[in-house]
Structure 1
């Protein structure tokens, strides 16, 4: 690559390296905040005696994704830059996190769930905003995004290790840890690249609130197919988060947390390989492999046990890197390539969050709850096997649908 006139090659490389470092810090803190409380919240609520509200607490995320995505669509495209939204949402969100521990107690459980919903309405849009800032800052070099996004996984892992090391896994003080980092990220966001907000094609307020311009991207057939499949594949994702740990415990594996961490390590490894894979194979093969991996994972869970087939459980968990990175990380890049020429990147990333973490995860929580209710009070491994066949078959059908209908492949084709 030829350096711009008057810019030394070494200076250009140094600036690029500094940008990558700044965005990596953004992603690290963004997911540290979430990972600090999300992983052990159920244990905390059970410990303090409000375990009957765990299902409600874990339903607020998908609901907040839907509500927050519409609010983001209005603000990001009409009023504030992505950078300033990050500042406001994380500072206000941090204040709420500091208030939550006092409500994690009998007699205050309902208030806790409602306030947690309020917090998540503020937090969930920042996931799309962080993606938008990174993708817009990199410009044409979107292949650098997976490397930066990998630091989000590192932040999630670091949060869990710190919470465990500090002995806070069953303490409401997990929200204080998250609050400290949220406030720090709010102030750090002042230093982020000053990317421009979306330039809306229409000045109508209602059109902005409803993200009409972003939804208009689905007039492109391949992008519509991607959104549909992304929503559907998020259903088994929700089932994994909700029930994998219980299944692993039923199989007789004592170190459930350590076993689940294998999936995060796998996610991290594949995240770093994404730039090369994206350049080498393009969009469609990565998305398809991600969906096939979901089907394979649940097939492995449907045959794994605590005896001679225990390898299937470990392999199924280790596939998390392929399941998540090949679809969701590649999907964020693909969404950026489609949205950027239309000037609706922030709206489109928010819309993707709405359909995946919102609609898909909410459906997954509800469908998973129906399937789980059919199991005995203390399900055996054989009982779990019956449950896992449902998402396995569903993921396989989604992969077939995607293969037969999706046409976009390489980045240059997506921009055409």
Structure 2
């Protein structure tokens, strides 16, 4: 089997694990367990807490001691065991604690899987910028398949979604050990403790362009978990409690409606090379930021009845909002850093987006929801995304103009 097909399987399973619970968990917590907005937000903040240090730690380990593909497998198997332990819990503290621990081992696998893919493609003599997006798109396909399967099997409002995710994690955990080897970097004698511990990637903050990039990664990361945490709960429980919308497709099959977002991702991932060539890295990221404004605003104005077209449009916009920054940002980090700190640098990117950004965003969103209620909260989120986009347009400077991007691709 060619390296591309092997990486496609990895990508499919990597995101199917997440898709099995990420979108539907909020509906289960808010409906089945009747947790508050703050409590729901805290579960999604676990991804932020984990991403503050676990991707960096695992990136360092992968760079220095354990090959990334083996570490990927270890993390998935441990995470699966923790999900199995979490599934039967119904009280807040034990369920929260076990989800937090499982996420500690899942979040690093996102950057680890990127590193495995980049290394395998480079070793095969392939251009990562050209070859990676078509492989990564299968991750989104896996996410969609898991979402739809969980919905159709009736798991979206039960703890069975966690068992499903655990089963997929075991499969990928075992499969990871068969992937191409990612060599570790030997520690040279007489080098500084910073290099010995693999912390050199954090020196990227000394470069103004990288510091600004990472700060805006954090600010945009605030937006990432908001719809993951509350979109399903909003459609299922908020509209489901209104007689006018009971029985509508958006209420009864919110997971499938939301899966349009991931379907949009599949197209948008493939469009990234074209947009990078045509508009350059900064403009592609700007497009992403203003797409978040539309995403939130349309959620606030739409409904599962005669306004369902606005919800569908919001889902379509999500592909641009998510991919144009996350995938382009990952490629930007890969191109701007030395191969010796590649895994660590991807870990830092994860810290800023899914770490600080998701942590602050999840808790802040929960507070906004409890204080403001629906649908006004969506308009507050839209205003925030607009301010971030305008600031990015003024402050961020990139040397990658369209002509230079053509040479990269």
Find the aligned partners of 2:388 and 2:187 in 1 and give their Cα distance. 33
How many residue pairs are counted as aligned between the two chains?
387
From the superposition, tell whether residues 84 and 360 of structure 1 become closer, same or farther in structure 2 (CA, over 3 Å).
same
Find the aligned partners of 1:163 and 1:245 in 2 and give their Cα distance. 13
- Which of 348, 351, 369 is the equivalent residue of 1:351? 348
Task: Give the deviation of 1:66 after TM superposition.
Answer: 1.2
Alignment of 1:314 with 2:312, yes or no, is: yes
- Which of 76, 90, 99 is the equivalent residue of 1:105? 90
Q: Is the 8 A contact 1:76 1:346 kept in 2?
A: yes
Q: Is the 8 A contact 2:42 2:362 kept in 1?
A: no
Match of 2:132 in 1: 145
Moved more, 231-240 or 403-412: 403-412
Q: Is the 8 A contact 1:198 1:347 kept in 2?
A: no
Find the aligned partners of 1:175 and 1:393 in 2 and give their Cα distance. 34
Match of 2:212 in 1: 225
Task: Give the deviation of 1:183 after TM superposition.
Answer: 1.4
Find the aligned partners of 2:361 and 2:106 in 1 and give their Cα distance. 21
Structure 1 segment 69-218 matched on structure 2, within 5 A: 69-102=55-88, 104-106=89-91, 109-139=92-122, 140-197=127-184, 203-204=191-192, 212-218=199-205
Task: Give the deviation of 1:229 after TM superposition.
Answer: 1.2
Find the aligned partners of 2:200 and 2:334 in 1 and give their Cα distance. 14
Length-normalised TM-score, structure 1: 0.83
Structure 1 segment 45-60 matched on structure 2, within 5 A: 45=29, 49=33, 51=35, 53-60=39-46
Structure 1 residue ranges without an equivalent (≥5): 1-14
Task: Give the deviation of 1:273 after TM superposition.
Answer: 2.3
Match of 1:373 in 2: 370
Find the aligned partners of 1:365 and 1:168 in 2 and give their Cα distance. 24
Match of 1:3 in 2: none
Match of 1:11 in 2: none
What SS is found at the alignment partner of 1:374? helix
Alignment of 1:36 with 2:27, yes or no, is: no
Match of 1:26 in 2: 10
From the superposition, tell whether residues 397 and 92 of structure 1 become closer, same or farther in structure 2 (CA, over 3 Å).
same
Match of 1:361 in 2: 358
From the superposition, tell whether residues 408 and 263 of structure 1 become closer, same or farther in structure 2 (CA, over 3 Å).
same
Q: Is the 8 A contact 1:77 1:208 kept in 2?
A: no
Alignment of 1:402 with 2:382, yes or no, is: no
From the superposition, tell whether residues 204 and 46 of structure 1 become closer, same or farther in structure 2 (CA, over 3 Å).
same
| CA RMSD of superposed structures (Å) | 2.9
Task: Give the deviation of 1:328 after TM superposition.
Answer: 0.7
Deviation per residue, 1:256-285 (Å, 9 max, x gap): 313322211111121122233334443222
Task: Give the deviation of 1:65 after TM superposition.
Answer: 1.2
Task: Give the deviation of 1:208 after TM superposition.
Answer: 5.9
Task: Give the deviation of 1:387 after TM superposition.
Answer: 2.8
Task: Give the deviation of 1:406 after TM superposition.
Answer: 1.7
Deviation per residue, 1:241-269 (Å, 9 max, x gap): 23334555657663331332221111112
Moved more, 52-61 or 221-230: 52-61
Length-normalised TM-score, structure 2: 0.84
- Which of 239, 249, 254 is the equivalent residue of 1:255? 249
Match of 1:10 in 2: none
Match of 2:221 in 1: 234
Task: Give the deviation of 1:63 after TM superposition.
Answer: 0.8
What SS is found at the alignment partner of 1:105? coil
Q: Is the 8 A contact 1:198 1:345 kept in 2?
A: no
Structure number with greater CO (CA < 8 Å, separation at least 6) is 2
Find the aligned partners of 2:80 and 2:108 in 1 and give their Cα distance. 15
From the superposition, tell whether residues 393 and 327 of structure 1 become closer, same or farther in structure 2 (CA, over 3 Å).
same
Structure 1 segment 320-335 matched on structure 2, within 5 A: 320-335=318-333
Find the aligned partners of 1:288 and 1:54 in 2 and give their Cα distance. 30
Task: Give the deviation of 1:93 after TM superposition.
Answer: 2.0
Q: Is the 8 A contact 1:36 1:159 kept in 2?
A: yes
Find the aligned partners of 2:294 and 2:33 in 1 and give their Cα distance. 38
Match of 2:48 in 1: 62
